[in-house]
Structure 1
Amino acid sequence: MVLTRKRLRELGKSIGKYKTGEYNSITDVEGVKVGHCTLREDRDDTTIRTGVTAILPHSGNLFREKVFASSHVINGFGKTAGTIQINELGLLESPIMLTNTLSVGDVLQGTVQYMLEKTPEIGDTAGTVNAVVGECNDGYLNDIRGLHVGREHVKKAIESAKSGVVEEGCVGAGTGMLCLGFKGGVGTSSRIHLFGQEKYTVGALVVTNFGQRKDLRIPTVSDETSEKQLPDGSIMIILATDAPLNDRQLERLAKRASFGLSRTGSYATHGSGDIVISFSTAHKVPHQPSTNENTMSYNFLREDGKYISQLFEMTVDTVEEAIWNSLCKAETITGRKGRTVEAFPYELLDDWNFFNEVRKK
């Protein structure tokens, strides 16, 4: 009998002072949807442990109705596509797609193909589209050289995207990933808070693939000397909020994700690609404005008060808990070359009080 793996809060542990949203998920930001396509197959000549994850900021046509966005590089050993234009124009116009390192090109093609099917004017009367793809290297467990992710998997991930509960652990882009010497994968979390008369939400979704067991700030693990030497790995962090932030403010939010990451034990090793993409759903920016005016007006959050700092704190807590959820939800998996990566043992959380004292320092 296989027991269902639990999230951090289901194990009696919590992070920070802010409340979570209904699902404690990035989908608590209204309109945001997440979909996965998971590839787990054993053949005579190969072992496949990979997939695709799609994050949609809203249910409409993202090219025609863009959202404000930004990105931040914590450590740049990565192959992310599409972030240059995000940072230049401050807008996101496609789903955010996550996969393995060598499948970025195929997922990029699949995303472009999907956008072309949904938007006839792309490449004709409206220029081209900037598809966004992030990655981590799952080659320890997955036959990454086999390039098993295809355009059909991209379409499936996008079309299966839904609001509400998000599958976590060994699903989608997280299928073959490792985290802190244990099985990692997809994790998500959220925070909500009342800002005057408005309630704002910050949500994070991560694909974790970084660190060694010795990096965990838990005494019973830190002294281990017999662990396998695993790749440096990476992490993709996606932040969503309904707070009215512009692209510059979203970049500031994205930078705070690094603090949530560091709390879990990461120090962004040489070979780690640690990338953050952030967006706000508060405004939709039309590709073709309906008026002939030369200016467009939007309202954004003031930065001279406590609110922006509270959003930063919510971001740090959300990212940290999303990483822990990726660990706690992922099950033991055997992959390429018979390699087995164990699930995170819940008994290590018995040291949680000590761990929290370390986090405060």
Structure 2
Amino acid sequence: MNVKPRARDLGLPFNGETGPYNAITDIKGLKVGFTTLTDQSRNIRTGVTAILPRGDASEPKPVWAGQYALNGNGEMTGTHWINDAGYFAGPICITNTHSVGMAHHGATRWMIETYEDYFCKEHASAMPVVAETYDGVLNDINSQHVTSEHAIAALNSATSGPVAEGAVGGGNGMICYEFKGGTGTASRRIEIGGETYTVAALVQANHGIRPWLNILGKPVGKMMPEDRILEQETGSIIVILATDAPLSALSLRQVAKRAAIGIGRGGSPWGNNSGDIFLALSVANEQRMPQMETALTTRTELNMGLLDPFYLAAVECVEESVVNAIVAGEDTPSFKPEGLVCKGIDTTRLSALFC
């Protein structure tokens, strides 16, 4: 696990109260796993990130969800059904652009084997969520090093507790504001109606060019202009937001939209070539699949008029997750073009800006 200091450890004054891990695993029952593939001699720097919203479930169960795409030059499978039904019932995998099919194949196989009884007895279809960003600057993406077994391994490794950041899983080959980017996470705790809820994010940050970068209002990109490696925005960002609050699918879509504001706080206006795709989910209201439920089902839903704190929490989680992904980065040689180095941000200089 990456042991570098996180953004808060560097003294960056983020707002809000975090959960115990300041991570998406602060959502009870949610687990995260990784398969990280690195072989510099073969130009391999990629992987798979896996999220199990209901990590201990013995059968597939609906996870209430809402999805939003700010810019669509990317992929997130399963979203047609999410937009129609307001739920999905499988894992989430995040990988590179040319490995969506293999990750989907692996996640499907994992579902069939993990929920064997359900798939044997029911006429069931597996529709995992698989998303991607492009790692072709640091990884030989066209060689398609990720296999279905790598996705299965990531899913089988999923655990609760602290979450590794930076060059892990699908974030291994990613670049953010021309610094080494990748996987980042953060959480917030909020109180509504006398109840405490958690909102958390995990991002695969692969977006932005250096002059755009702002961190907590400071023009960090302009203050650290050295060692640029890109001429224009060519990357993307995937955001997974999770909560334990009983939100409807419509409310979750509204929460997902706020990921855009969290990213925008970092300075990115998004580029034409970027895929900025967001998913918000709730693990509340646990039920069985519709075909296994009674004719009349009931769910608790939080009053939509009380969502403002969730919007703020989502914005703050995403903003901090992106910075956590950046500060975890380490110097990494490029693949295409060869001969460059994608620098990890100088955390000593960054910390000094906030002293």
Q: Is the 8 A contact 2:35 2:49 kept in 1?
A: yes
Q: 2:302 maps to what in 1?
A: 301
Aligned-partner Cα distance in 2 for 1:267–1:288:
40
Fraction of identical pairs, as percent: 38
Q: Secondary structure in 1 aligned to 2:139?
A: coil
The one-letter code matched in structure 1 to 2:311 is F
The 5 A counterparts of 1:182-261 are 182-217=179-214, 218-219=218-219, 221-222=221-222, 224=225, 227-230=228-231, 231-261=233-263
- CA-CA distance at 1:124 after TM superposition: 6.5
Residue type of the alignment partner of 2:80: I
Query: Who is 2:8 aligned against?
Result: 9
Mapped pair 1:122 → 2:119 = yes
Q: Hey, what's the Cα distance between the residues in 2 that align with 1:292 and 1:38?
A: 42
| Equivalent AA in structure 2 for residue 113 of structure 1 | R
Q: Please list, as runs of the form range in 1=range in 2, the aligned pairs for 1:60-71 lying within 5 A after superposition.
A: 60-61=56-57, 64-71=60-67
**Cα offset, 1:53, TM superposition:** 0.2
Aligned residue pair count: 345
User: What's the counterpart of residue 318 of structure 2?
Assistant: 319
After superposition, the C-alpha distances for 1:294-328 in whole angstroms (9 at most, x for unaligned) are: x2110100123xx3101111110011000000001
Task: State the Cα RMSD in Å.
Answer: 2.0
TM score, norm. by length of structure 1:
0.90
Q: Which one of 81, 90, 111 corresponds to residue 107 of structure 2?
A: 111
3-state SS of paired residue (1:122) = helix
SS at match of 1:275: strand
Work out which of the residue numbers 47, 55, 59 in structure 2 matches 1:51: 47
Residues 345 and 125 of structure 1: CA distance in aligned 2, closer, same or farther (over 3 Å)? same
- Separation (CA, whole Å) in 1 of partners of 2:220 and 2:149: 44
**Structure 2 length-normalised TM:** 0.92
1:135 to 128, 132, 136: 132
Distance 1:309 1:50, change over 3 A: same
1:291 to partner: Cα distance: 5.3
Deviations 1:141-172 (A, max 9, x none): 00001100011111110111111100001100
1:75 paired residue number: 71
Distance 1:226 1:68, change over 3 A: closer
In structure 1, how many angstroms separate the alpha carbons of the residues matched to 2:139 and 2:120? 35
Change (3 A) 1:86 1:123: farther
CA distance in structure 1 between the aligned counterparts of 2:60 and 2:76, rounded to whole angstroms: 23
Cα displacement string for residues 264-304 of structure 1 (whole angstroms, at most 9, x for unaligned residues) = 011111011001011001112311555542x2110100123
> Corresponding residue for 1:42?
40
Work out whether residues 204 and 319 of structure 1, in 8 Å CA contact, stay in contact via their aligned partners in 2: yes
Gaps of 5+ in 1: 354-361
252, 275, 287: which one pairs with 1:285? 287
Distance, in Å, in 1 between the alignment partners of 2:79 and 2:309 is 26
1:42 aligned partner, one-letter code:
Q
- Aligned mates of 1:207, 1:73 — CA distance in 2: 15
Give the Å deviation of 1:88: 1.0
Decide whether aligned partners of structure 1 residues 325 and 258 sit closer, same or farther in structure 2, where only a CA change above 3 A counts.
same
48-57 vs 191-200, greater mean Cα deviation: 191-200
Task: Determine if contact 1:261/1:319 at 8 Å carries over to the other structure.
Answer: yes
| Residue identity matched to 1:222 | K
Which residue of structure 2 aligns with residue 31 of structure 1?
29
Which one-letter code corresponds to 2:31 in the other structure? K
| Deviations 1:23-57 (CA, angstroms, capped at 9, x unpaired) | 000001111110010000133xx310000000111
Gaps of 5+ in 2: none
Q: Which moved more, 1:48-57 or 1:81-90?
A: 81-90
Aligned position for 2:177: 180
What letter corresponds to residue 111 of structure 1 in structure 2?
A
Contact 1:23 1:165 in 2 (8 A): yes
> What amino acid does structure 1 have at the position aligned with 2:56?
G
1:188–1:205 Cα contact (<8 Å) kept? yes
- Asked if the contact 1:55/1:97 (under 8 Å) is kept, the reply is yes
User: Helix, strand or coil for the counterpart of 2:6?
Assistant: coil
**Shift in CA distance, 284/308, structure 1 to aligned 2, threshold 3 Å:** same
In structure 2, what is the Cα distance between the partners aligned to 1:144 and 1:290? 42
Q: Secondary structure at the match of 1:286?
A: coil
2:222 is aligned with what amino acid? S
Asked if 2 retains the 8 angstrom alpha-carbon contact of 1:71 and 1:87, the reply is yes
Q: Distance in 1 between matches of 2:354 and 2:112?
A: 49
C-alpha change, 1:149 and 1:62, in structure 2 (3 Å) is farther
